[in-house]
C-alpha cells in the first residue's frame, strides 16, 4: 500500500468502519483505516470478558443502513457484535483499506503542505517491547532506545479519529498494588487461560463491566471479594432470546425490524426529559431500581450495602438480572471499607483487615478524560492536543478542534450518551465529516479549521445546558473532570445533534484554498 492517502482513519470500531463505508459509498477510495489490534471491531474486539454484552438493545445498537435481522438476543453479546462488525467490513469491501497490527504513534499537522504526517509502527512488536520494559499504555517512549521497533510515516490530507472515548484502561492508585504477588488483570485484558476454580478472587470496581463479569467469575471461584466504592443504580434487563420466527419476519419484512428499532429509539429518547428537564421523572426509575434490590436480595445488610445514595441517572444506569443474585451467593462478599494497601498476596482494607487473594481483577474503567494520549496529536505550531485541552477536552460539534485543521473526531468531546445508542451519534458525525470532505473537494479547499470563537460559543451553550442536568450536579462521575467540567456527555435529544451535524457549516471554519509553497 502506498505511503500516502487522502484520508487516514484511526480505529475499526463502529466509528472507523462506519466512516469507511460511507466514504466508499460517496466514491472515495484513497483512504486507509489503521488498527492497532489484530482484528476489526474496536471496543467489541478488545473487551471479551465473560458476560460482556451491550446494554443497548441490539436492534438500535447497529448501523441504520445495515440493520441486522439475525441478532439472537434483545441485547447482543460481545462475540455477536464483533462478528457483525467484521461482516460489515467484509460486505462493504473495507478490508483492503484496513491495516491491522498498525499502531498510530503520532500525527502531526504540516503547515506548509496543510496535510498530516502520520507515524505508525508494528503493534505486536511495540507491545512486546513495552512489556519487556515494564511500560503501560500511554507511557512515554524513549525514542533513542535502539530496541524500539521501527516507525514509518505516511502523508494524509485528512485524519479522522475513530479511537473511541474509552480505550485506555484506568488502574487504581493503591499503595503496593504493583508488588502484588498473585495474578492480576484489567477487565479489558482478560486472561481466558486463567482458571478461577478453587481460587480466591478480588474484584475492584462495580461499574458496567464488573456487573457483567462478576456473576460469571462467581460461578467458578472458590471465593470472590467485591471491593465496592460506590454502588451503581441497577434496573432489570429486559433481555430475551429473539425467536427464529421473529428473525424470519425481520428478514422477510425489513420494515418490521425498522419499526421495532424506531420504537426502541423513541422510548430511550423519552428518558432525556428526566435527565435534563424534570429530575422528578427519574424518581420512577429509582423506585424501579429499589424494587429490583428488594426482589433479588433477601439479606437486609447486603441490601443496604448495594443501595446507592446519589441521584439516579447521574452515573450510567446499569441493567442486570444476574448481578444481585451473584452477590447473594455464599462464596461472595461485598466489601465497602475501601483498600488501604496491597501487601504480598494480601489486600488490606482501611480498617487494617487483611484478606488473602490469588487474583485481582480491575473493573476500574477507563481514562475517559484523556480520549487521546498525550504526545499523539500535534496541530498548528506543533501544539499537543492535550495542551489545547488543559482545561478539559472540547470540540466544535464533538468533531473539530481549533488549531487542528483537517482533523476530525468521531465520538469526540460531549458526544457521549447516558441514555441511548452511540451508533446514532457516530452516524451523525460521519455525515458531518463526509459533507466536510465533499465541500473541500467541491471548493478546492486544502484545509478547514474551525474558528476559535465558534468552538467557544458552541461549548458555552453545551455547558449551559449541562449545568441544570443530573449528569452535572448529581454526583461525582467519570463524565465530569477534576475541574467540574463535563467533557463527555451530549445534553439533549440525539435528534437535536443529528440536526446540527446534517451539513458541514463552512462559515464557522477558516477554509484555505491551497497549500503554501513548500521549502
Residues of this chain that interact with ligand N01 (CB under 6 A) are: 54-55, 166, 172, 187, 204-210, 227, 229-230, 316, 363-366, 478
| Minimum CB distance to ligand N01, residue 432 (Å) | 22
What separation, in Å, do the N-terminal and C-terminal C-alpha atoms of the chain show?
Answer: 27
- Is the CB of residue 392 less than 8 Å from the CB of residue 369? yes
| Minimum CB distance to ligand N01, residue 166 (Å) | 5
| Minimum CB distance to ligand N01, residue 204 (Å) | 5
**Closer residue to ligand N01, CB minimum distance, 382 or 484:** 484
In angstroms, the CA 439 to CA 421 distance is 28
Check the CA dihedral 224-202-476-190 and report its sign. negative
**Closer residue to ligand N01, CB minimum distance, 207 or 403:** 207
**Closer residue to ligand N01, CB minimum distance, 156 or 372:** 372
| Minimum CB distance to ligand N01, residue 512 (Å) | 37
| Minimum CB distance to ligand N01, residue 319 (Å) | 8
Query: Cα angle vertex 245, ends 239, 250, to 5°?
Result: 80
**Closer residue to ligand N01, CB minimum distance, 54 or 293:** 54
- Return the SS3 of 136: coil
DSSP-derived secondary structure letter, 89: H
**Closer residue to ligand N01, CB minimum distance, 190 or 227:** 227
| Minimum CB distance to ligand N01, residue 513 (Å) | 41
- The count of other CB atoms within 10 Å of the CB of residue 496 is 13
DSSP-derived secondary structure letter, 274: I
**CB-based burial of residue 305 (10 Å sphere; 0-12 exposed, 13-18 middle, 19+ buried)?**
middle
Chain mean position to CA 500? 22
Which alpha helices (H) appear in 138-253, and where do they start and end?
A: 210-220, 244-252
Query: Please, which contacts does 138-145 make with residues 24 or more away whose CB atoms are closer than 8 Å?
Result: 138/168, 138/367, 138/370, 138/373, 138/374, 140/374, 140/375, 141/105
- Is the CB of residue 19 less than 8 Å from the CB of residue 40? no
**Closer residue to ligand N01, CB minimum distance, 114 or 206:** 206
**338: Cβ–Cβ under 8 A, 6 or more apart, which residues?**
227, 229, 349, 350
| Minimum CB distance to ligand N01, residue 505 (Å) | 29
In angstroms, the CA 278 to CA 415 distance is 21
| Minimum CB distance to ligand N01, residue 134 (Å) | 21
| Minimum CB distance to ligand N01, residue 320 (Å) | 10
| Minimum CB distance to ligand N01, residue 41 (Å) | 13
Residue whose C-alpha is closest to residue 17's, from 107, 87, 101? 87
**Closer residue to ligand N01, CB minimum distance, 66 or 239:** 239
**462: Cβ–Cβ under 8 A, 6 or more apart, which residues?**
414, 490, 491
| Minimum CB distance to ligand N01, residue 416 (Å) | 7
In angstroms, the CA 406 to CA 45 distance is 28
**Closer residue to ligand N01, CB minimum distance, 124 or 172:** 172
Residue whose C-alpha is closest to residue 72's, from 302, 189, 236, 241? 241
| Minimum CB distance to ligand N01, residue 234 (Å) | 12
155 has which bridge partners? Answer: 4, 117
**Closer residue to ligand N01, CB minimum distance, 187 or 494:** 187
Rg (the chain; Cα; Å): 23
**Closer residue to ligand N01, CB minimum distance, 107 or 204:** 204
**Closer residue to ligand N01, CB minimum distance, 212 or 459:** 212
**Closer residue to ligand N01, CB minimum distance, 217 or 437:** 217
DSSP-derived secondary structure letter, 204: E
* Residue, CB closest to ligand N01: 207
Amino acid at each position: 500500500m502506498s505511503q500516502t492517502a487522502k484520508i487516514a482513519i484511526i480505529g475499526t470500531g463502529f466509528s472507523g468502519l462506519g466512516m469507511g463505508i460511507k466514504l466508499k459509498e460517496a466514491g472515495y477510495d484513497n483512504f486507509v483505516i489503521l488498527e492497532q489490534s489484530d482484528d476489526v471491531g474496536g471496543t467489541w474486539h478488545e473487551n471479551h470478558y465473560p458476560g460482556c454484552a451491550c446494554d443497548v438493545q441490539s436492534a438500535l445498537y447497529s448501523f441504520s443502513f445495515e440493520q441486522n435481522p439475525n441478532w439472537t438476543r434483545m441485547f447482543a453479546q460481545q462475540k455477536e457484535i464483533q462478528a457483525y462488525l467484521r461482516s460489515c467490513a467484509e460486505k462493504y469491501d473495507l478490508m483492503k483499506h484496513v491495516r491491522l497490527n498498525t499502531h498510530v504513534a503520532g500525527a502531526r499537522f504540516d503547515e506548509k503542505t496543510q496535510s498530516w504526517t502520520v507515524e505508525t509502527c508494528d503493534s505486536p512488536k511495540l507491545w512486546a517491547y513495552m512489556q519487556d520494559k515494564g511500560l503501560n499504555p500511554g507511557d512515554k517512549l524513549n525514542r533513542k532506545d535502539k530496541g524500539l521497533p521501527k516507525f514509518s510515516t505516511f502523508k494524509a490530507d485528512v485524519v479522522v479519529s475513530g479511537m473511541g472515548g474509552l480505550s485506555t484502561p484506568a488502574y487504581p492508585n493503591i499503595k503496593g498494588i504493583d508488588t502484588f504477588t498473585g495474578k492480576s488483570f484489567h477487565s479489558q485484558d482478560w486472561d481466558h487461560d486463567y482458571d478461577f476454580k478453587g481460587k480466591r478472587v478480588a474484584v475492584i470496581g462495580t461499574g458496567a463491566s464488573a456487573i457483567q463479569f462478576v456473576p460469571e467469575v462467581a460461578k467458578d471461584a472458590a471465593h470472590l471479594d467485591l471491593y465496592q466504592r460506590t454502588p451503581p443504580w441497577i434496573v432489570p434487563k429486559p433481555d430475551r432470546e429473539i425467536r427464529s420466527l421473529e428473525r424470519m419476519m425481520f428478514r422477510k419484512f425489513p420494515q418490521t425490524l425498522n419499526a421495532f428499532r424506531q420504537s426502541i429509539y423513541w422510548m430511550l429518547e423519552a428518558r432525556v426529559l428526566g435527565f435534563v428537564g424534570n429530575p422528578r421523572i427519574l424518581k420512577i426509575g429509582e423506585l424501579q431500581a429499589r424494587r429490583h434490590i428488594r426482589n433479588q436480595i433477601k439479606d437486609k445488610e447486603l441490601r443496604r450495602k448495594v443501595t446507592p445514595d446519589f441521584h439516579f441517572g447521574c452515573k450510567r444506569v446499569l441493567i442486570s438480572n444476574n448481578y444481585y443474585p451473584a452477590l447473594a451467593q455464599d462464596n461472595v462478599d461485598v466489601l465497602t471499607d475501601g483498600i488501604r494497601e496491597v501487601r504480598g498476596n494480601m489486600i488490606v482494607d482501611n480498617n487494617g483487615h487483611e484478606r488473602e487473594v490469588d487474583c485481582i481483577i480491575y473493573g476500574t474503567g477507563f481514562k475517559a478524560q484523556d480520549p487521546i494520549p498525550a504526545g499523539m496529536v500535534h496541530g498548528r505550531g506543533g501544539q499537543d492536543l492535550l495542551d489545547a485541552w488543559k482545561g478539559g477536552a472540547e470540540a466544535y460539534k464533538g468533531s473539530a478542534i481549533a488549531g487542528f485543521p483537517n482533523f476530525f473526531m468521531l465520538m469526540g468531546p460531549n458526544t457521549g450518551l447516558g441514555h441511548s445508542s452511540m451508533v446514532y451519534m457516530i452516524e451523525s458525525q460521519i455525515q458531518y465529516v463526509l459533507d466536510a470532505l465533499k465541500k473541500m473537494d467541491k471548493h478546492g479547499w486544502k484545509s478547514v479549521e474551525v474558528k476559535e470563537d465558534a468552538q467557544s460559543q458552541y461549548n458555552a451553550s453545551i455547558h449551559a445546558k449541562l449545568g441544570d442536568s443530573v449528569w452535572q450536579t448529581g454526583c461525582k462521575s467519570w463524565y465530569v473532570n477534576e475541574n467540574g467540567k463535563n467533557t463527555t456527555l451530549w445534553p439533549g435529544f440525539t435528534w437535536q445533534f443529528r440536526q446540527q451535524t446534517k451539513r458541514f457549516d463552512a462559515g464557522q471554519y477558516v477554509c484555505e484554498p491551497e497549500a503554501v509553497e513548500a521549502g
